[in-house]
Structure 1
């Protein structure tokens, strides 16, 4: 058994893969901030020890977030993307730099703008208020720590003024976050409505398409579509040398059924006969209503002998039907005329031969299948 190899992204979880890709974007932002910190270090604003601490802090944050997502621990949180946590930790690393930044402290407030914008796009108003409170609270604690432990590195009036400016900025961002959140919600609602309308449109188009090719009463193919399919099958026969048979079905004494039980009962008989006959065929065959009580079966890649077997199976299925909703005494039978289509023959001629065979079935006593002889082709 070979051990599974570790992959940077999960191979079977698209959502987790997307979250890790977003995380890598955040990692890129850390890398750019790191470059700026190194520039500050080269200019003497940070000591090597302070920069090393920042590097370790950033590394710990990124490794921790990555492992949390990669091991699926993030799925235990209400927000599996860990948006608030990532922004909170990014803010913590920024406050670390501000604590040691002295003269360049205010520049790191500018680096936080990207985080503000990301939070504004990801959070609703309440979530952004929480983030704002966290950032403002962290900055206030930072000022207190500087006053207590590094009083020589702080101009209290300036930092308090910057804190107030940050407060105003965060208030503006909060307003924008609410506005963008409302827009997102409207877009989401519009998308849901659009999907619903698209579904209704697809259903309507399918219904229109079915109406164009289906018989309204029985649900099987209509005469026009049958003729189109027969024309296609004729061309396939010419190209490939294949064979097909046309079988015309007629319900025996159907007028008597209408006269005895009514036209609604006749309609039910047509539906049940169509359903039973079409269900007895292969998927490659096609079946439809030709008009009145006549139906047509087209049996692809089938010789006359095979068509006779299939037709007998359909005939017996119809003969065995019962109609308790109409009358326990009602029995329905069918007659079938079968004709094998000649390779380069005319479909109309094949229809004529099948119709003649149907006539002979009727003359022979009904409830039977008759095959047109090859000599008739």
Structure 2
């Protein structure tokens, strides 16, 4: 039995090619339709399920698979054109059959790697360079056996090289261009050698190759520029994201101390209030004020005053639990929210912070300087307005100052006693 009889018939190969091409086009069209939010699709049409089944339910893998299917559609169209050439008796059937089987097998291997997720083990999950290289080899092969349809391979080559926009480095793009120039040069030289007695064909191959080199250089230059533009765009997007984060940080934090600012603290207090109402858990507020802070500014200057504010803020923050929140309320005042805490526990924490602050240097201008703070603490009463809770803490603070400073008083009990 001749070996050719063991291979699939030409009609079978063409049917397989049409089927594969149809699947590729349907998948690409399906994923595109799913992105058209304004298009009302019938609910009974399982487009998303089909897309997830053929590509992947994971967004990153699906994007890679969609790009792969676009390339497959272009390549299979070229192979199908070769098979049409066989039908028209313009191309050798055995050579075309071998190329078709190899192309279908290669597509199947790449699809299996991507669908199983093995591609994620590589530095480039899209396998762009590998796919581009394989496609260039098949196009050169198709050019070699393509007969009158050889220019079609050159057209598809430019299309495939456009996928190099997704290659990460210029070095990889250079390798793809060198590979294309090399293998197509060999294919054209082989065609010219076979038709060496036909000067027109030889001259035409030389013209084709010169045009190809010019096209490769132009495409490489354009793609390299697009890659640079994409890199610049990514850098600017990163800078924009960082700027937005800084703006968001400035909108919620005090620039000097790094603590939350008054506006954001009010939002957090409102959230904690609703949580307390739902759960029944208590929380407390404490208003703190640095004692004799004006004297520090007058004697050492505002720079030293800023140092004092920053150091006091860090000392308070270090003495709190992770669930407690402190904000700079204004000037030298701080507001602390103790979550899931009663007044007794909040008072103990504040006294511990006071003791730590007495032993902490607060400015390099006068390393011997020690500062203290006065504080008023109160518990939130269910269903009351937050302004009333804050006012009680503020009254307790002023009572502590009136009682001699450097102390913690409660509201209403201690404040009333001090009065």
TM-score, scaled relative to structure 2: 0.65
Q: Which residue of 1 aligns with 2:256?
A: 217
Q: Which residue of 2 aligns with 1:118?
A: 160
How far apart in 1 are the matches of 2:372 and 2:82? Answer: 92
Q: Which residue of 1 aligns with 2:286?
A: 247
Does residue 310 of the first structure (1) align with residue 352 of the second (2)? no
Q: 1:129 to 1:170 in 2, by over 3 A?
A: farther
Q: 1:119 to 1:211 in 2, by over 3 A?
A: closer
Q: 1:143 to 1:170 in 2, by over 3 A?
A: closer
Indicate the SS of the match to 2:366.
coil
How far apart in 1 are the matches of 2:67 and 2:390? Answer: 67
Task: Give yes or no for contact 1:121–1:177 (8 Å, CA) kept in 2.
Answer: no
Residues 97-246 of structure 1 correspond to what in structure 2 (within 5 A)?
Answer: 97=145, 105-111=147-153, 113-119=155-161, 122=164, 128=177, 131-132=180-181, 134-145=183-194, 156-157=197-198, 160-246=199-285
How far apart in 1 are the matches of 2:273 and 2:312? Answer: 27
Q: CA deviation at 1:345?
A: 1.8
Q: CA deviation at 1:256?
A: 3.4
How far apart in 2 are the matches of 1:283 and 1:179? Answer: 59
Deviations 1:316-359 (A, max 9, x none): 33223124723342222222210101112232322232223223
Q: CA deviation at 1:242?
A: 3.5
How far apart in 2 are the matches of 1:251 and 1:74? Answer: 58
Match of 1:369 among 390, 395, 408: 408
> Is 206-215 or 120-129 further displaced after alignment?
120-129
Q: CA deviation at 1:32?
A: 5.1
Task: Give yes or no for contact 1:221–1:289 (8 Å, CA) kept in 2.
Answer: yes
Q: Which residue of 2 aligns with 1:87?
A: 136
Q: Which residue of 1 aligns with 2:360?
A: 321
> Is 166-175 or 115-124 further displaced after alignment?
115-124
How far apart in 2 are the matches of 1:207 and 1:116? Answer: 44
Deviations 1:245-294 (A, max 9, x none): 11011222323333443332222111100122123333443212222322
How far apart in 2 are the matches of 1:74 and 1:245? Answer: 54
Q: Which residue of 2 aligns with 1:276?
A: 315
Q: 1:39 to 1:331 in 2, by over 3 A?
A: closer
How far apart in 2 are the matches of 1:181 and 1:210? Answer: 43
Where structure 2 has 5 or more consecutive residues not aligned to the other structure, the ranges are: 1-53, 165-171
> Is 35-44 or 204-213 further displaced after alignment?
35-44
| Greater RCO, CA 8 A, separation 6+ | 1
Q: CA RMSD in A?
A: 4.3
Task: Give yes or no for contact 1:120–1:174 (8 Å, CA) kept in 2.
Answer: no
How far apart in 2 are the matches of 1:317 and 1:325? Answer: 18
Indicate the SS of the match to 1:81.
helix
Q: CA deviation at 1:307?
A: 1.6
How far apart in 2 are the matches of 1:368 and 1:375? Answer: 11
How far apart in 2 are the matches of 1:34 and 1:195? Answer: 37
Q: 1:268 to 1:55 in 2, by over 3 A?
A: same
Task: Give yes or no for contact 1:74–1:81 (8 Å, CA) kept in 2.
Answer: no
> Is 296-305 or 324-333 further displaced after alignment?
324-333
Q: 1:167 to 1:29 in 2, by over 3 A?
A: same
Q: CA deviation at 1:311?
A: 1.9
**Rg comparison, structure with higher value:** 1
Q: 1:139 to 1:327 in 2, by over 3 A?
A: closer
Indicate the SS of the match to 1:106.
helix
TM-score, scaled relative to structure 1: 0.72
How far apart in 2 are the matches of 1:212 and 1:225? Answer: 8
